[in-house]
Amino acid sequence: MFKGSYVALITPMTQTGEIDYPALEKLVEFHIEQGTHGIVSVGTTGESATLPFEEHIEVVKQTVAVTAGRIPVIAGSGANATDEAIFLSEQMAGLGIDGFLSVVPYYNKPQQRGMVAHFNAIADATDLPVLLYNVPGRTVADMLPETVAELASHKKIVGLKDATGNLERLKATQALVPDDFVLLSGDDGTSAEFLCQGGHGVISVTANVVPGAISKMCEAGLAGNAEECRAINASIASLHNGMFIEPNPVMPKWALYKMGLINSAELRLPMVLPELASQKALEELLKKHALISG
């Protein structure tokens, strides 16, 4: 369940700020053709923080419709209010998704006991699998391995997206959770080592741009071919850095726009287009990797 390369898919928008559904369909088809193993729809990279519920739900619905069961779709359903996270999960439960990705509540800095209560309440409210998402760089609050282990006892909580970038954290979590508990990297820069040390896959930002490479990297890692996994990662390491020149999803949207896969790099305020220097730096990387002409 939920192994391999899952793209943290951007949400394409028109120059006037509406969701660009034809571009969304084009992106989904691109990922299926390139071998992406699954899609995370409207997570952080999909601008979940600035999409109202109606749009959030519609983007997930349309993503499921285009995939048509060919690859799994995980819906971002996190919120810093437990009732809101439950409401969003309930609204999306019947869309045909394969599970939820639920982030540690942001801004209000819950205690570890609060996290346990929050995620158990969400899991109690759905029949679908739930993946926990720990990204302290954005949420400030950090879910500890012991908390993950406690939550792993809930039958609906099946895994964790670990975006700490700390491989010692992976080891600590592995020692406490069941063998079938899914551990996915949420940090592109360390994802190859995460796989080589027993992780099950990655929810990747870089996969927006080079989905085939991330997919092959994951397949090599899961097959136990650490040398190939690391070699593929080394070949795209500069792109990992390029995706985060400015806060995500600014740079992957700019890359996809320059690659001709979306019609506009528009973002929802307060996110704005990258600075000119950032645009040029990323475009040079894209040329180096033969993703755009130059």
Instruction: Please name which of 36, 46, 89 lies closest in space to residue 67, comparing C-alpha atoms.
Output: 36
Q: Is 161 a catalytic residue?
A: yes
Beta-bridge partner residues of 4: 201
Could you tell me which residues are annotated as the binding site? 45, 203
Distances from the Cα of 69 to the Cα of 39, 90, 119, angstroms:
11, 20, 27
At which residue do the structure tokens 């997919």 appear?
A: 215
C-alpha dist (Å) from residue 252 to 27, 46, 139 = 13, 11, 21
Asked whether the beta carbons of 79 and 85 are under 8 A apart, the reply is: yes
Catalytic residue among 133, 156, 253, 258: 133
Helix (H, G, I), strand (E, B) or coil at 19: strand
Active site residue 26: no
Looking at residue 62, its amino acid is: Q
From the candidates 26, 61, 161, 258, which is the catalytic residue?
161
Annotation: binding site for pyruvate: 45, 203
Is residue 12 reached through a cis peptide bond, with omega within 30 degrees of 0 on the bond before it? no
Q: Is the peptide bond before 270 cis (omega within 30 degrees of 0)?
A: yes
Tell me which residues are annotated as active site.
133, 161
